Amino acid sequence: MSTNKLKERLDKGPVICAEGFLFEIERRGYMSSGEFVPMVSLDHPEVLENLHREFQHAGSDVVEAFTYNGHREKMRVIGKEELLEPLNRSALKIAKKVALDTPKGSKPNLMAGNISNSNIWKHNDPQSQKEVEGMFTEMIGWAVEEGADMLIGETFYYAEEAFKALEIMKKTGLPTVLTISPMGENKMRDGKSVVDTCKELEQLGADVVGLNCFRGPATMFPFLKEIRKAVKCHVGALPIPYRTSEDYPTFFNLPDRSNCACPSPHGRTFPTALDPHFCNRYEIGKFAKDAYALGINYLGVCCGANPMLIREVAESIGLTVPASKYRENMENHFMYGKNKRIPKHMTEYGDKA
């Protein structure tokens, strides 16, 4: 039996995993919003590699291969099924390269293969479920061949799809993380409660169970408290950095109440006009600190994440990461700094401005 490197690290302390590649690559101009297919690993591998490096610099211990939506069904939707395997292998190779390239003297990071919500899974429909099983199996196979150290299954809103994903992941013997994403009805779409789903995932052998995506800190945290109490295994918490609320638990239906003169042409804030709902870095830091205090060691940020927020997660739980060199230093600000070299007329002006 090979050692479980993920569990070893989690038993000792926090493990940080940057997610949210979809939104960040789209913001950088290398992906079509709405369609959301990760062609970047083939079209602009250098862009993806660099984003991984930035997240790693900011403290991510896991380099998750960007294969989200890179599954057979999505490739059929865009009519490029022949690129499915090259896309997956390229994303995995890039992630592996970055994971092995950590600063001198530090241990390599963990490269994670990834499968996610298929969006064709249908409750009580063996035909669709068989198809999803095939999609997961081929992607996990490529992840193993490209040297994945662990596997992440994420963003599942059907409990049974998550169970199926875990069953396939477990066959490899690699460490597994399975995080789910309940929609606005606050339970899984096939009726199971969030906590029961996590308990069952633990029984099925996941090393980490928990939540990712769809929910911001305010509507994810209450579930995390219950999950932490209900399971013995490690728990994962990767919210979106948006201000969801009890009335609007997920980012799919957040209304823009700012009387925006330029609403999105598609009539909703998701996914391209969520900006006014963005959490500041301190809110994300507080979330991570509170989650860590609960005993949650697997932490990160999902859609909306950027390297600045990942550094905030790391520093809020007491870690120093390479990007800490450039952490906030208001001391030397030209108007608000306390440094003696700052001219008095400027700090006095700053007090008023």
| Chain positions contacting Zn ion, by CB under 5 A | 213, 302-303
Structure tokens at 44: 């602009």
Nearer to Zn ion, 199 or 217 (CB): 217
The answer to whether 198 is a known ligand-binding residue is no
Nearer to Zn ion, 41 or 179 (CB): 179
Closest distance of CB 21 from Zn ion, Å: 9
Closest distance of CB 181 from Zn ion, Å: 8
Structure tokens at 223: 């579930």
Nearer to Zn ion, 291 or 303 (CB): 303
Please calculate the CA angle 247-252-258 and round it to the nearest 5 degrees.
Answer: 70
Closest distance of CB 17 from Zn ion, Å: 12
Nearer to Zn ion, 95 or 302 (CB): 302
Nearer to Zn ion, 180 or 302 (CB): 302
* CB under 8 A, 24+ apart: contacts of 186-192: 186/249, 188/157, 188/158, 188/159, 189/123, 189/157, 189/158, 190/123, 190/158, 190/159, 190/160, 192/159
Helix/strand/coil percent split, the chain, to 5: 45, 10, 45
Closest distance of CB 155 from Zn ion, Å: 6
Q: How far apart are CA 270 and CA 213, in angstroms?
A: 13
Phi, psi of 152 (to 5 degrees): -120, 125
Q: How far apart are CA 24 and CA 317, in angstroms?
A: 24
Nearer to Zn ion, 51 or 302 (CB): 302
The answer to whether 17 is a known ligand-binding residue is no
Q: Where are the alpha helices (DSSP H) in the chain?
A: 5-12, 21-27, 40-43, 45-57, 72-77, 84-100, 126-145, 159-170, 194-203, 217-230, 281-294, 307-316, 344-352
Closest distance of CB 270 from Zn ion, Å: 11
Question: Residue 275's CB: how many other CB atoms inside 10 A?
Answer: 12
Nearer to Zn ion, 17 or 129 (CB): 17
Closest distance of CB 241 from Zn ion, Å: 10
At residue 247, the 3 state secondary structure works out as: coil
Looking at this protein, which amino acid is placed at residue 333? H
Structure tokens at 234: 């490690």
At residue 51, the 3 state secondary structure works out as: helix
Closest distance of CB 240 from Zn ion, Å: 6
Closest distance of CB 19 from Zn ion, Å: 6
The answer to whether 302 is a known ligand-binding residue is yes
For residue 216, what are the contacts with CB-CB under 8 A and spacing of at least 6?
A: 239, 240, 241, 242, 243, 244, 251, 277, 279
Nearer to Zn ion, 25 or 302 (CB): 302
User: Which residue numbers belong to the known binding site?
Assistant: 213, 302-303
User: Which residue numbers belong to the known binding site for Zn(2+)?
Assistant: 213, 302-303
